[in-house]
Structure formats: C-alpha cells, structure tokens
Chain A
Amino acid sequence: MNGNTQRRVVITGMGVVAANGIGKDAFWQATRNGVSGIKPISRFSTGDLPITVAGEVSDFVVNDYIERKLAQHTDRVTHFAFAAVQEALQDAHIVLAEENPHRVGAVIANTVGGVEYVLEQVRALHVRGPRYMSAYTAIAWLQVANVGQMSIRYGIQGYCKTPVNDTVGGLDALGMAYQAIRRGAADVILAGGCEALLQPCVLLVMAQSGQCATGDDPRAYRPFDRRASGLLLAEGAGICIVEEYGHALRRGATIYGEIVGYGQSNDAHGSLIPSSNGAQYARAIRSALQEGDLSPQDIGYFSLDGRALPTSDQGEAKALHLAFSNGLGQVALSVPRTMLGHSYAAAGALDTITALLALQHRLIPPTINCEELDPRYGLNIVRKEAQPFSGSGMLIGGRSMGGANVVLALRSI
C-alpha cells in the first residue's frame, strides 16, 4: 500500500550560498584550495559583542534571484533559500513546470527563522506600538516560510516539511526527503537547509551557551585541535535536488551520487553540548551503513561533525573508533566546514554537497586551522591541503545540541 520499497534515491543538482563562494563552482574552487570565508562581520557593528568574526556571505545580491517586493517581505534566510534553490534547479536541468506538481516536494531545514526581520518588527512593536509591526512579520519569520515561499514560486504541491534540529536539521532534511521518495510519497524533492543567524542578539545567546569560540580570530574554529574552544558561526544555504533514480534516468540527468542510508540516534544525556560518550553516535553510523548495505571498508570519506569542543570531539573520536575499529586508518576524515563556519541548519546540506563534489573531483578538501591535532583522539585528519579520494562510499555525520546524532550514507552510482 505504500509503493515499491526498492525505489532508489539520487542527487541530481546542487545549489550553494556559502561564505567562501556562491554557486557550486565558486564554492568548490575555494573549498578544494582551503580558502576560508571567515572574516570580520560587516553587516552590523560588532562593537562590544563577544563574537566579531563569522562566515558572513558577501556579494550576495538578492535581486539577482527575486523581485524587489518579495525581497522586502521576506528575510535574508529566505533570500538564501531562493538563491540556492534556483542554482540547484539550474544545475539539475530540471523544469518543475513540466513535472506533476503533486509529486514534487520541498524539505528545507532551518533553526532560528527570519530572526533579523522579526527582531526589527519586535523593536517597532515595543518602541513605536502595536500597529507599527509589519503584517508580513509572521510570514517572513517562521521557519516554515522557506518551504512555503518555494512552494508558491515553483508550484510545488507535494510533500513539504521543515525540520528544526539545531546543527543537524540539514541532514534530517536530506534524510526525510530520501525516505519520502523511497516509500513513494514523492518523486522529486528540493532538500537541504538555510540559515541567517548573524544578528547581534543571536551572537550574544550563542556566546553565552559556550558552543562558540569568542573573540576576533578568524582561525578560531579548530576541531580536534588541542586549542579547540568552539565553533564559529556562519550563514548560508545548501539545496540538493533529490530524485527517484528511474525518474532521473528517464530525463537523462547527471547523477552526483545516491543516498543509501539515514541513521539516527540520540545521546539523551541531558546536557546541551554533544556528549563525550560516542556509543549512540556509533550506533547511528552503523545503522546508516547497514541501511546502505555498506561495510566500513566501503567508506572512502567521512565528513565529520567537528564541533571543536573537547567533550564533543572526544565523543566523535570514540564513535569513529567504535564503528570502524582497525579500519579507521583507511577512511579519509575531514571538516571542510572549518572554511565556512557552522551555518546550523544549512551545514549538513553544505557538508553533503561538499562530499558529492569531492566524489566528483576525486579530491577531499582539507580541515583548516587544525595545526595542533590532539593525539589523544587517534584520528588522522585531512589537513593543510586536499587529498586524493579513493573509494565510492561516504558518510556525513552531525550531532546536535541536546544529543541527536545523524549520519547520512552516500555512494557513487
């Protein structure tokens, strides 16, 4: 009653808005060469704020993608989504108008919504009065705004969802899209994440939470380094065109890779920072491998969570040793996100896109800033420069505040 469970799911298009490049090609050129997009925040005064550097997207012109009126009624986060979706659709050479709209969906993760727009309106409300708040506030601000706007713009009438899961929402979005297509609920889904959280109040909250490196050092995001003190924040969007394999074949699409597994677990440890115990994360890794009918030896690249806090780095290292044991030396490990900063809900999607580009170009981008790799983790991480990629399987890992572990398994077709 739920369709053919043998349906396979592939990725046929990618769109990127990131601090070190807009568009797949610019993004890859920067990423393969270890070019960082972290710089002093320029869109507002960082004055006395504890965080002054981030992966801010520069040279983004919203009117290249949408009309002025729509741009005014939507937040920066939705602007990024519009851009990444347009890029991804062009890259996939798919024309949605020619598809059955009920079989097309959108699953776009987001964490803090249109925070810049809404806080301006909260100011208007409290400083000037209730009637000065824009009637577009709710539409611009709720996390669901992104899929809602994409649905309207592209006539998408199928499966639409908005996962909110801290730093792993983007991986959840790809996982949910994969499951929905596999069970026959859709044929084509625009999936990924978007985030625009570089706003003074958010920076204050994140600095207090102890998850972010504070100060003005653009090289402060150093996972697995002895000096690790948290991550740097970023904004951006990553969108993949996720498609049923037969559908992709019939229209002669270029296939970047296949999604074959989605592993989920939860540490349930109650503290906010991912735990130092890697047992549950290892279970998510195993479950993604098993679903994809992959063995640890099949994995050529593991895109790590790399939260850059000693406890979570330790937990991730433990999980890797548990899941791969002696074979871990054969897996290339990297956190290319060190070049972008952590864009929360967008991150998992950008990590996936990076991995698919790595597969295409047979080159694994480096983890930057990790000059003093802490030997107690026992990890051999790709650093300094890109490294040749051999193998066909890849895992993308992510862990959230509160304990969710998500692992996506991909392989070449």
Chain B
Amino acid sequence: MQRRVVITGLGVVAPNGIGKEAFWQACVSGRSGIGRVTRFDASPLNTQIAGEVADFDPQTLGITLEEALNLDRGTQFALAAANLALQDAAFSTELNQGERDRFGVYLGSAMSIVDEGEKVWIRFTNRGTQPPKVAENDTFSATPLLSSLASANVIAAHHQLHGPCTIISTGCSAGADAIGEAFWAIQEDRADRMLAGGADSAISYGGLNVFSVMRALSTRNDEPERASRPYDGRRDGFVMAEGAGVLLLEERAMALARGAHIYAEVIAFSSNSNAYHMTALPDDGAPLQQLLWQILSEACITSEQLDYINSHGSSTPSNEPAETAAYKAVFGERAYHIPISATKSMIGHTQGAASAIETIVTALALEHQVIPPTINQEQPDSLCDLDYVPNVARRAPVNVALTHSSGFGGVNSALILAKPDWGDMDEW
C-alpha cells in the first residue's frame, strides 16, 4: 500500500508576520508587509519598496549566538522557520538515532548567494576601485557566503538530522519543488520525516536592481502597501520580499501513532517547464494548463472537487491573464466558482520561499476553513474576471486545495493538499 504523507508542523518568517499565528492573523486581516526599503539607501533605484522582515530576533527563534554571527540572513530565516515548524510539530520525546537517520531536509532557494555575494565583491574590490584582494588587516570569513549555499545542511546540523539533504534552485517554484521532492522521498520510503520549504533574502542594492532593470518590479514607491495587486487593473510589477517557510512532512501512520496534529495531507505534486521564455508564460498559459491537467490526474480528482486555489499571482501585467486563461481552459465554467487568492498581494514575492509560504497558507486555509483574500483589488481587469476573493477573507468549506507557482527559468510546480480526513471519507 502506498505510504501517505501529512503536514504536521508549520514555520514561517514573513514580512507580515513571524510564526504561524501572527502570520495567519495578518493574512486573514489583509495586512500587507510591504514598505519602503530600510536595509540600505534605495533612493538611486527606480523601485524603493520591498517586503522586509522586521524585528527578526535570531535568539528568540532558537538560533545560537555562533549561528547568528556565521550564517547569512537567508539561512537564518530558513533555520528560524525550521525551528518554528519543529516546535509546532510538538514531538513529545527526543528523536532516537534511527529516527534521525530517516529525517531529512530539502529546501528551495532562488537567490541565496546574492546578499553575501554583493557584500564580498564590495569588500574585495573596495567598491570597484581595485582588483579583488583581501586587505592585509581584513578578518574576512568565507563562512556566511558559503552557508548561503548550504541552508539545508545548516538545518540538518542544528537538529542532528541525518537523512537526505539538498537545495533546489528553481526560481519562484523552488519551495514547492523542495516540498514535492520531500513528499516523494517519504512516499517512496527513502525517509520518514522531512523538513521542507524555502528561504531567500535578496533585498540588496544589486538584488533589487537586477529586477528593476528588467522592469519587472512595481514602482509604486509612494504607496508600498498597495503596490502588490495581482489581478487588479493597475498592477505594475511584483514587489520583492524576503522570508522563509518550512513545513514538517511526516509519514501518516507515524504522525497518527504519535498523536500529532495534522494540518493537511499532501495528495499530489507535479511540475513542468515552459520551454518558452525565461521569465514569462505564453498568453494562453499553455504550460500551466498542462500542469493543471497533470496534477488533477495525479491526484485522481476533478475540478469539481477543488475548493480553493492559492495562485502564483505575482502582480505582473502578463502573469495573471495567462493564469486566468489557463484556469478557464482547464476548469471551464467551474473556473468561475473556485475561490482563488494571491497572497503575494500581502507578502510580496519572497522568491524561493514564496511557493513554500503559499503552501503554508494553503494548509492553514484547510485547517481554519477560511480563505485569505487578495488585497488591493480596486480596478477590474477585463482579462482577469474570476473570483479572486477580493480584499476580505472568506469562510468557506475547503476540503481540497491547489497551490501552484511559475518560476523564473520556466519551471512551474503545483501541489494538492487535502483535509486530513479527506482520503478516508472519499474512496479514491
């Protein structure tokens, strides 16, 4: 019999809240985490807004002093989110060696090296005024830069987990890919438990400007909280954000045996590639159509059974019409009756963390039977005419939910989650 996989712990570090409760409260109240950039002087850039994580206190989130000194910011987010997820999973006893051998970490990250990489370049070249060198009295340590490429290993070391461990870097789909691969690993009996999710912190001068020069970012600098507006007629680009989302995935029988609280069951994971453009979907969203067909078939469900979609909804002019077209092509008339929300409207785009944080939102929607809104819906766009749960959260029965993402580099990924008892109620 196929092993089943459930979600038993949630850890989130987001611009609009750290920790499951604060984050969920912000999401259902439609609170934005976007503001003016404070980490550096962004005034020379076209875009001066971002979703920064405020009040991040490593010590209160279980990060040691040594880790706080040696790890880059993104890896600290990842570790904090992993700590929160494990805390949330509430193991009553210490894991034994055998359990640690079967416990791994898969993380997604798109831009992890950016922040430290730019700092190191500035340091070595004295901001471009000399050939790269380490100055004589410079106490440079390579550790923060190298740790930015090893966040999964850092979590494994902190919690003494000896199972499979890697990072997947598929742009905005990275977090969902890590969760999906972890789901497969447990399903195929390569592990019993996995911490899986994504993290990124790339709000630096260079990190922001690479997207600014592509004209991919919103320039609504005067109204930061209203800048991320997926589906709305006045959207003008995405808003960079930082954060992490980590979930504890667990083999279902083991979770039940230890009396764990189960948020949701992971039903299916599917992914594909655009073969079209590095940063965009074609207008008809054809690759997304294909992905939706693929995952419905993988999950053995029909669109009638889909109660909620947490969409990619990045707030770029081209993404949302393509998404909407794909929903209509696949779901037909039913597309108009599935509530869809884009939580990037509140969080901004956390890059490699985004699809992991959205998976957490989806799990919480199943848990609370509440659908968070897409905020900043003011001016309709004729190409986006579905139910995007505008501005206000909604109570609704949610048994089965889909979350999907379209990544930079062309990778699209989707996950279907269901209420913990759904598989038993429904023979499938």
Instruction: Identify the A interface with B (CB < 8 A).
Output: 1-2, 45, 47-49, 101-102, 105-106, 110-113, 115, 118-119, 121-123, 125-127, 129-131, 133-135, 137-139, 141-145, 147-149, 151-152, 154-166, 168-169, 172, 176, 179, 183, 200-201, 204-206, 208-209, 264-270, 272, 280, 283, 400-404
- On whether A164 and B153 interact (CB within 8 A), knowing A176-B181, A264-B163, the answer reads no
- On whether A152 and B276 interact (CB within 8 A), knowing A126-B127, A127-B128, A161-B411, the answer reads yes
CB atoms of B157 and A403 under 8 A apart = yes
CB atoms of A143 and B169 under 8 A apart = yes
Per the bound structure, the CA–CA distance linking A133 and B105 in Å amounts to 36
CB atoms of A138 and B274 under 8 A apart = no
Q: Hey, which chain B residues are within 8 Å of A133, CB to CB? A: 206, 209-210, 213
Per the bound structure, the CA–CA distance linking A402 and B169 in Å amounts to 18
The verdict on B290 contacting chain A, using a C-beta distance below 8 Å, is yes
List B residues 175-228 near A (Cβ within 8 Å): 177, 181, 184, 187-188, 190, 205-206, 209-215
Highest count of chain B CB atoms <10 Å: which of A148, A159, A201, A264 = A148
- On whether A135 and B410 interact (CB within 8 A), knowing A126-B128, A160-B271, the answer reads no
Contact with A along B145-184 (1 / 0, CB 8 A): 1110110111011111111111111110000010001001
Q: Nearest chain A CB to B163's CB is how many angstroms away?
A: 7
CB atoms of A1 and B2 under 8 A apart = yes
Q: Hey, which chain B residues are within 8 Å of A164, CB to CB? A: 109, 112, 149, 166-169
Q: Hey, which chain B residues are within 8 Å of A183, CB to CB? A: 184, 188
CB atoms of B150 and A160 under 8 A apart = no
Instruction: Identify the B interface with A (CB < 8 A).
Output: 2, 44-46, 100-101, 104-105, 109-113, 117-118, 120-122, 124-125, 127-128, 131-134, 140-143, 145-147, 149-150, 152-154, 156-171, 177, 181, 184, 187-188, 190, 205-206, 209-215, 271-279, 287, 290, 294, 298, 300, 407-411
Q: Hey, which chain B residues are within 8 Å of A119, CB to CB? A: 117, 121
CB atoms of B279 and A147 under 8 A apart = no
A-B contact pairs, 10 of them (CB 8 A): A126-B206, A133-B210, A151-B274, A161-B411, A201-B132, A206-B142, A208-B134, A264-B165, A268-B156, A270-B158
Highest count of chain A CB atoms <10 Å: which of B109, B127, B271 = B271
> Nearest CB to that of B45 among chain A residues?
A130
Q: Hey, which chain A residues are within 8 Å of B124, CB to CB? A: 200-201, 204
CB atoms of A130 and B111 under 8 A apart = no
- On whether A265 and B145 interact (CB within 8 A), knowing A122-B118, A161-B411, A402-B154, the answer reads no
Q: A208-B141, A270-B158 are in contact. List 18 more A-B contacts (CB 8 A).
A: A45-B131, A47-B131, A102-B290, A111-B149, A131-B213, A133-B206, A135-B215, A137-B210, A142-B171, A144-B170, A147-B410, A160-B411, A169-B166, A201-B125, A209-B143, A265-B163, A272-B143, A402-B156
CB atoms of B118 and A161 under 8 A apart = no
CB atoms of B411 and A144 under 8 A apart = yes
Q: Hey, which chain A residues are within 8 Å of B120, CB to CB? A: 201, 205
Per the bound structure, the CA–CA distance linking A45 and B130 in Å amounts to 13
- On whether A204 and B134 interact (CB within 8 A), knowing A134-B213, A144-B409, A179-B188, the answer reads yes
CB atoms of B166 and A165 under 8 A apart = yes
CB atoms of A113 and B113 under 8 A apart = yes
Per the bound structure, the CA–CA distance linking A102 and B164 in Å amounts to 27
Per the bound structure, the CA–CA distance linking A408 and B233 in Å amounts to 51
- On whether A267 and B287 interact (CB within 8 A), knowing A137-B213, A201-B124, the answer reads no
Q: Nearest chain B CB to A39's CB is how many angstroms away?
A: 21
CB atoms of B156 and A403 under 8 A apart = yes
- On whether A159 and B188 interact (CB within 8 A), knowing A1-B298, A403-B153, the answer reads no
> Nearest CB to that of A165 among chain B residues?
B166
Highest count of chain A CB atoms <10 Å: which of B169, B187, B408 = B169
Q: Nearest chain A CB to B298's CB is how many angstroms away?
A: 7
Per the bound structure, the CA–CA distance linking A266 and B102 in Å amounts to 10
Q: Nearest chain B CB to A248's CB is how many angstroms away?
A: 22
CB atoms of B184 and A158 under 8 A apart = no
